[in-house]
Amino acid sequence: VALEGLELRVLRMPLVAPFATSFGTEYEREVIVVRAVTADGDGWGEIVTQQAPLYSSEYTQGAWDAALRWLGPALLDRGRIAPEEVAGILEPFKGHRMAKAGLELAVLDAALRSEGRPLGAYLGAVTDRVPSGVSVGIQQDPAALVGAVAEYLDAGYVRIKIKIKPGRDIADTAAVREAFGGIPLQVDANSAYTLADVDTLIELDRFDLLLIEQPLQEDDLVDHAVLAGRLRTPLCLDESIVSLKAAQDARALGAASVINIKAGRVGGYLEAVAIHDLCRAADIPVWCGGMLETGIGRAANAALAALPGFTLPGDVSASDRFYPRDIVTEPIVLEDGHVRVPTGPGIGIEIDPAALEDFTVAREMLRR
C-alpha cells in the first residue's frame, strides 16, 4: 500500500468490571488505536499495551513515544510498503513489540481491505469459528470466584482460566474444581512465583488442570525448564515467548509444553504465525492469548486462532466480557461457546466513529 499517514489515538474504555491479576487491577482499559491512511483506503490496528509496565516492560506512553518518534516515521519514509515488509523495516528498533504489532496490523488491514481479502484466509485459517475460553480475574474471595465462573459457564464459555497469585492459588482453584467438576480449567500466574514456590505449584497438580500459565519471570526460561520437570501439569509460557527465537529456545530447553501466542507480545500477526508454524511442526499445542483487545484485535485474534495448530481454546471472548460498549459496529459475540472468524475484507470490522471519538483522550497524526 501507499502509506500516506498514521493516526494514533489513546483510548480509555470503561470495563464492565475491574480486572485483577497478580500484577495489579485494571479499572478501565487504556489502549492505542492506529489508523493507517493509504491511497487505497484506511486500515486499523491496536497497540495492546496497558497503562503501566506490569505485564511486560511495555506501556502505553512508552509505545506512544516509540511509535510516534521512531516506528511510524520509519514506515512513512518508505512510502509504498507491503505488510510483509513492516517487521523488517522496524527490526533495527529494539523491543517495543506491541507498538510494532499494532502498526503492522493497521498496514495489513489496509492492504487486505484494498484487495478484498479476509485476514483469516491470508493467515491460513482452516475453520470459520473458534472455541471461546474466558480469563477470569482474581475476585474478592473463592466464593465470589465461583459466582463469576458460574456466569461465564452459563454464557457458554468452553474453557475457564483463573488468575492466581501467591496466597490466592490453591483455595481458589479447589473452589472452582469442587463447584463445577471436570470442566476444562487452567490457571495463569503472570510470573508471580519463583522456584522457591515449587511446593505450592506442585500442589496444583491434583486439580487436573489443562495447564499452568507463566508461573515464573519472563526471562526465567531455564527455571521454567526445571519446574516443568517437577510438574505433572503441562507448563505453558505467555510472557516469556516474545519472539519466534524465544519459542525456539523454550522448545530446546524443554521450558514449555504449551505456548500461548499473542500477536501483540511477539511483534505482530506474522511473527505469531511463524511461532504457530514452529509449534505445529514440533507438536507443541498453542492457543491464542488476549490482552483485553477492543473489537479490532479481538476480530484479528479470532482469525489467528482459526489456524490448525491452535488446538486449545483461546482467550478469544466476546466484546461484552470486558466492554459495555465496543468501538466496532458489530461487537464480537459468543455463539454456542464459539466466536465467528470474520469474513469481511481485512480484519473484517467496521469502526463505530462515535464510540471511537467518545473514548479518545489523545490523538496524533503523522504524515508522509
Among 43, 215, 290, 348, binds ligand OSB (CB under 6 A): 290
Residues 230-249 that bind ligand OSB (CB under 6 A): 238
Catalytic residue at 161?
no
Residue 30 touches ligand OSB, criterion: CB under 6 A? no
Residues 284, 288, 292: CA angle, nearest 5 degrees: 150
Residue 313 touches ligand OSB, criterion: CB under 6 A? no
Per DSSP bridges, beta strands 212-213 and 185-188 are: parallel
Say which residues have a Cβ less than 8 Å from residue 358's Cβ, sequence separation at least 6. Answer: none
For ligand OSB, which is the closer residue by CB, 1 or 192? 192
Applying CB under 6 A, which part among 90-98, 170-178, 279-287, 288-296 lies near ligand OSB?
288-296
Catalytic residue at 100?
no
H/E stretch holding 160: strand 159-163
CA dihedral 343, 348, 352, 357 (to 10 degrees): 160
Binding positions for Mg ion, rule: CB under 5 A: 188, 213, 238
CA dist 345 → 52, 112, 124, 127, 324 (Å): 34, 6, 15, 17, 26
Instruction: Check if the beta carbon of residue 104 is closer than 8 Å to that of residue 274.
Output: no
Among 292, 304, 307, 355, binds ligand OSB (CB under 6 A): 292
Instruction: Write the DSSP symbol of residue 126.
Output: -
Which does residue 291 touch among ligand OSB, Mg ion, none (CB within 5 to 8 A, set by kind)? ligand OSB
Instruction: Check if the beta carbon of residue 170 is closer than 8 Å to that of residue 197.
Output: no
Which does residue 317 touch among ligand OSB, Mg ion, none (CB within 5 to 8 A, set by kind)? ligand OSB
Applying CB under 6 A, which part among 82-90, 107-115, 268-276, 289-297 lies near ligand OSB?
289-297
For Mg ion, which is the closer residue by CB, 7 or 188? 188
- Interface positions with ligand OSB (CB under 6 A): 55, 135, 188, 190, 238, 289-292, 315, 317
Catalytic residues: 163, 262
